[in-house]
Amino acid sequence: MKKRAFSLFLLLLWAICPVFSQSLYPIIPKPLLLEPKEGSFILPPDPIIAVAGTDPMLRRLAEELANRIGRVTGKDTKVFAGNFRVKDGINFVMSKDHKLGEEGYFLEVTPKRIIITAEQPKGFFYGLQSLLQLMPTEIYGSVRAENIKWSVPCCYIEDRPRYAYRGLMLDVGRHFYPVAFIKKYIDLIALHKMNTFHWHLTDDQGWRIEIKKYPKLTQVGSQRKETMLGHYNDQKYDGKPYGGFYTQEEIKEVVNYAREHFVTVIPEIEMPGHASAALAAYPQYGNNPDKIYKVGTKWGVYDDVFAPKEETFRFLEEILTEVIDLFPSQYIHIGGDECPKNQWEESLFCQELIKKEGLKDAHDLQSYFIRRIDKFITSKGRKMIGWDEILEGGISPNATIMSWRGTEGGVLAAKQHHDAIMTPENFCYLDHYQVDAKTQPIAIGGLTPLEESYAYNPTSSNLTPDEAKHILGVQGNVWTEYMPTSDYVEYMAFPRAIALAEVGWTAQHLKNTEDFKKRLDIHKKRLDYLEVNYFGAPTNKKFRYQWPLKK
């Protein structure tokens, strides 16, 4: 009875006192239910991790945990797998009885044992992330930590995400980052219980994915003459050739790595706009056969877009066929944003096509273009996703919308019973300034502070419960015009991406900005161990952010 009263007291403290909750249970994103309990589990001198069953993925997760505990605590940690009852120590128990879903888990910590229960390996992976976050932050280090009391506070957690889709995008067209960084980015996605890496692989300023059938896409399209320096308005260039691309072997390596971290990689191949780099390589698919197309050197939107000719569709379908073979993801992203129509309006071919197909105008032609691509992707057993411009002229039957120009696109899509992922600029564009621009290294513009990202509720109150089911989730977008290095990407993306991870995972009524910030303060120590150059990190000063032209 005494114990029960104490537990109730702790639960009350957890509910009403954010300071208490953050200090003992600093889990990000915040779980659905966390009941604090009395006491703690002290890691014994020879910890045991017992895996019930023979699932190889669970065994791998247990081995990784054992290696981490061994490395950081110096304790000899062993893994046992098989059919036995729970043991003293850390247990992974596969559940068949509960309705936890693919991503849910229970985590129970008592003075004698820790039990993670889930239905699927992904649920165990997330349970494991929460367990690590209940340990001293030193567990994230890469070397042995001395004089640490290795304990885990007792509690009971029931957890599963609010949304099925929780993503982070990276634009590698404007700047290119090595595979090692892409893996680190995936680590950070997984650490925060996000499950999707949206890889923006092509743009006017660079084509970054090897396509075997069209080698010039990378031979020509991945290289630009020079890069803008300073703000767009300065119109200055660095005069240095710039390039890079991922080979198909590297892509496979990244996709495999992501799978091991329970992250799906969605590739984006931009069309019909943002096509300058592709057209520099294969000008025959543009609207003007005499034009010399160039890989873009300045930021912004270009007029050079694909011509809606049969040969172009064949070209794009052959590219997409290779892309589909490389990426097992259900979704294939085809861009669809910011496609100027002036070349189509001036093209005799396009005007005749508009008449022949009974279309209204060049905007309708974009819809025709997207519908054809949708049909192709659907014929391959995949689903097309595109930016919200693909709503214009009537959305393709199977398409999912990524709502970026505010929330209206997503709301409209959901009302038409189409799935939508919410990435509205005001909350989700992590290339905006995060504090007063005058104090910051150069960024594209806008201002989206951490608190604003955190406050975002992706499900608009204008939707009925049935319509709301079409809001699949939320994503942070990292456009990289002004991010020449991976340090710079980390500086802009974190911690705002962490706020969005909680938006995607945690029920709206459980979110609390002050409580989040307190948990984040502790979480930043973990990010320090992981050498993440988040905004406000003690190591920020080591990095050079100022562009030569910063005034």
Catalytic residues, which ones? 203, 274, 338
- Which CB atom, from 387 or from 491, has the smaller least distance to ligand ACM? 387
- Minimum distance of ligand ACM from residue 198's CB (angstroms): 11
Report d(CA 441, CA 433) in Å as an integer. 9
- Minimum distance of ligand ACM from residue 413's CB (angstroms): 15
Query: What mask, x for binding ligand ACM by CB under 6 A, covers residues 181 to 220?
Result: ----------------------------------------
Span 412-441, contacts to ligand ACM by CB under 6 A: none
Q: In 272-354, where do the E strands start and end?
A: 331-335
Cα–Cα distances in Å, from 101 out to 12, 104, 107, 414, 543? 28, 6, 15, 24, 42
- Which CB atom, from 114 or from 339, has the smaller least distance to ligand ACM? 339
Pairing of strands 196-200, 165-171: parallel
Minimal CB distance to ligand ACM: which residue?
Answer: 337
404 in contact with ligand ACM (CB under 6 A): yes
- Minimum distance of ligand ACM from residue 479's CB (angstroms): 6
Report d(CA 7, CA 37) in Å as an integer. 5
> What is the residue-wise DSSP string for 104-166?
-EEEEE-SSEEEEEESSHHHHHHHHHHHHHHS-GGGG-SSPPPS---EEEEEEEEE--S-SEE
Closest CA to 92 of 117, 126, 68: 117
- Minimum distance of ligand ACM from residue 270's CB (angstroms): 9
- Minimum distance of ligand ACM from residue 333's CB (angstroms): 10
- Which CB atom, from 270 or from 490, has the smaller least distance to ligand ACM? 270
Span 79-98, contacts to ligand ACM by CB under 6 A: none
- Which CB atom, from 38 or from 337, has the smaller least distance to ligand ACM? 337
> What is the residue-wise DSSP string for 45-107?
SS-EEEEEB--HHHHHHHHHHHHHHHHHH----EEEEES----SEEEEEE-SSS--TTT-EEE
What are the CB-based long-range contacts (under 8 Å, 24+) for 235-242? Answer: 235/298, 236/549, 237/297, 237/298, 242/176, 242/206
- Amino acid (one-letter) located at 4: R
Give the rounded distance of the alpha carbon of 71 from its chain centre. 29
- Which CB atom, from 207 or from 387, has the smaller least distance to ligand ACM? 387
Q: Which residues contact 191 (CB under 8 A, 6 or more apart)?
A: 129, 530
- Minimum distance of ligand ACM from residue 402's CB (angstroms): 7
- Which CB atom, from 138 or from 481, has the smaller least distance to ligand ACM? 481
- Minimum distance of ligand ACM from residue 338's CB (angstroms): 5
Query: What mask, x for binding ligand ACM by CB under 6 A, covers residues 351 to 390?
Result: ------------------------------------x---
Pairing of strands 383-387, 331-335: parallel
Q: Which residues contact 103 (CB under 8 A, 6 or more apart)?
A: 120, 122, 123, 126, 160, 161, 164, 193, 195
Q: Which residues contact 523 (CB under 8 A, 6 or more apart)?
A: 26, 28, 133, 495, 498
- Which CB atom, from 253 or from 337, has the smaller least distance to ligand ACM? 337
Q: SS3 of 313, please?
A: helix
- Minimum distance of ligand ACM from residue 404's CB (angstroms): 4
Question: φ, ψ for residue 246 (rounded to 5)?
Answer: -100, 130
Span 502-521, contacts to ligand ACM by CB under 6 A: none
**Pick from 250, 337, 451, 452: which binds ligand ACM (CB under 6 A)?**
337
- Which CB atom, from 34 or from 472, has the smaller least distance to ligand ACM? 472
How many binding residues for ligand ACM (CB under 6 A)? 4
Closest CA to 29 of 508, 522, 499: 499
Residue carrying structure tokens 């991922």: 246
- Minimum distance of ligand ACM from residue 478's CB (angstroms): 11
- Which CB atom, from 18 or from 273, has the smaller least distance to ligand ACM? 273
- Which CB atom, from 91 or from 403, has the smaller least distance to ligand ACM? 403
**Given CA atoms 499, 332, 223, 277 in this order, what sign does their dihedral have?**
negative
408 in contact with ligand ACM (CB under 6 A): no
338 in contact with ligand ACM (CB under 6 A): yes
- Minimum distance of ligand ACM from residue 337's CB (angstroms): 4
Question: φ, ψ for residue 427 (rounded to 5)?
Answer: -115, -30
Cα–Cα distances in Å, from 272 out to 85, 151, 458, 494? 58, 55, 28, 32
- Residues binding ligand ACM (CB under 6 A): 337-338, 387, 404
